Amino acid sequence: MSELIPEDWFEMNPFALNQADKEIKMRQTLTSLHHHHLQHCEAYSNLFSDASMDSLEDFPYLAVRLFKYLTLQSIPQEQVFKILYSSGTTGQTPAKVILDQDTSRRQSKVLVKVLQDFIGKKRMPMLIIDHPGVLKSKDSYSARGAGIQGLSMFGRQPIYALNEDMSLNIEVVQAFAETHKNQPVLLFGFTFMVWQHFLQSLRKSENALNLNSGILLHSGGWKKLEAQKVSNEEFKRVCRKTLNIEKVHNFYGMAEQVGSIFVECEAGHLHAPIYADVVVRDPQTLKVIDNNNPGLLQVLSIVPGSYPGNSLLTEDLGSVLGVDDCLCGRKGKYFQVLGRLPKTEVRGCSDTQA
Ligand SMILES: [Zn+2]
């Protein structure tokens, strides 16, 4: 498996390659992976053929919702190392993602390489905006638990900000802020939890924290916040006011495609690292559309080897904002996510590229 995805991928700076060079390199690895899945995953070989791909946009993609209905794997059962379930909304079928040791190891490496580019290499005291019970399940991992576990590697002495009933543990949070006054600290949580159970609880109780050297990372979708009309700008404004934190980075990713982690830079743009990319398609025709026009996001990643998740069509809308020229200096594509495709427009689960 390892020779499929050469190790030199993980020795490079994740944002140093320009788009043209990155695409050449990604195309080579994605082509090997495509053949690997054709050989080892029956569901995949039933859908796709051995056609050659001249650009990243030519790679066939699976609809992300297929992971709710099918077990997609390209490894023998005895190599299954971990099964990841997406949390999903209550009552919905969770997506199921099969990882072997190699894929899991690459996922961790990529997470480290990408996040260190934004938060530095030093491990900081960490405040997790969740409750400790979320990690309890043993054999199967919820995406929420897995996310917290993954991010915990970047902090030290993790402290949980919430109680089991999602109420704010104000004593613990205030003690954390006091102990680490004027020091770099890392905060992590899922976007909605941070907003609802942390920022709003602090506001309601008229408490503010001074974490002026802190960094807040958050992820997990804006659906619930959109319903409350909370924009990314408003989110950041409340972080400044309530936490005194300037450095707030949203990131976009999904359980179904390990290795795709797109972090918001200092200029407010989500960036594709060298291991992953985005393509925007017209929701009706599925043709690739021009930059700055909104459409359905397709995500590509070289990380999954144990299952055919290298090219997925999401149900999220977004647009590419530019290539190689973001003010922050990172190369490659940068983009924004504009929310979910309205439910009525979601195409059927059998819908994949012909
Ligand atoms: Zn940038």
CA distance 174 to 235: 21
The Å distance, Cα 338 to ligand 1 centre, comes to: 17
Kindly write down the DSSP assignment for every residue of 133-183, as one continuous string.
Answer: GGG---SEEEHHHHHHHHHHTTEEEEEE-B-TTS-B-HHHHHHHHHHTTTS
Could you tell me the distance, in angstroms and rounded to a whole number, from the CA of residue 222 to the centre of ligand 1?
Answer: 20
How many whole angstroms from 329 Cα to the centroid of ligand 1?
Answer: 6
- What's the confidence (pLDDT) of residue 137? 57
CA 130–ligand 1 middle distance (angstroms): 28
pLDDT in tens, 241-269: 999 999 999 999 988 999 899 999 999 99
pLDDT in tens, 68-98: 999 999 999 999 999 988 765 555 778 899 9
pLDDT class of 149 with cuts at 50, 70, 90: confident
What whole-number distance in Å separates Cα of residue 10 and Cα of residue 259?
Answer: 12
Contact 303, 107 (CB under 8 A): yes
On the 0-12 / 13-18 / 19+ scale of CB atoms within 10 A, 77 is exposed
Q: What's the CA gap between 2 and 346, in Å, rounded?
A: 36
Distances (CA, A) of 61 to 125, 256, 333, 352: 40, 13, 19, 6
How is 248-260 classified by DSSP, letter by letter?
A: EEEEEEETTEEEE
Considering the entire predicted model, what is its pTM?
0.91
- Edge-to-edge, what's the strand order for the sheet holding 140-142? 96-99, 82-85, 140-142
d(CA 18, ligand 1 centre) in Å: 13
Cβ < 5 A residues, ion ligand 1:
265, 267, 269, 326, 328
For 186-233, write each residue's pLDDT tens digit: 999 999 999 999 999 999 988 889 999 999 999 987 888 888 889 999
CA-to-CA distance for 218 and 45, rounded, in angstroms? 37
Compute the distance from residue 114 Cα to the ligand 1 centre, in Å: 13
Q: How many whole angstroms from 349 Cα to the centroid of ligand 1?
A: 34
Average pLDDT estimate for 13-25 = 97
| Interval between CA 336 and ligand 1 midpoint (Å) | 11
| Residue 349, pLDDT above cutoff 50 | no
Instruction: Report how far ligand 1's centroid is from the alpha carbon of 322 (Å).
Output: 10
**Cα–Cα distance between 228 and 236 in angstroms, integer?**
15
Q: Is pLDDT above 90 for 352?
A: no
What's the 115 CA to ligand 1 centre distance in angstroms?
A: 14
- Round to whole Å and give the CA distance between 133 and 130: 9
Q: 12-31 burial string, b = 16+ CB within 10 Å, else e?
A: eebbebeeeebbebbbebbe
Domains of the chain are: 2-345 (3.40.50.12780)
Strands 185-190, 214-219: pairing kind: parallel
pLDDT per position as a tens digit, 35-55: 999 999 999 999 999 888 899
| Interval between CA 184 and ligand 1 midpoint (Å) | 22
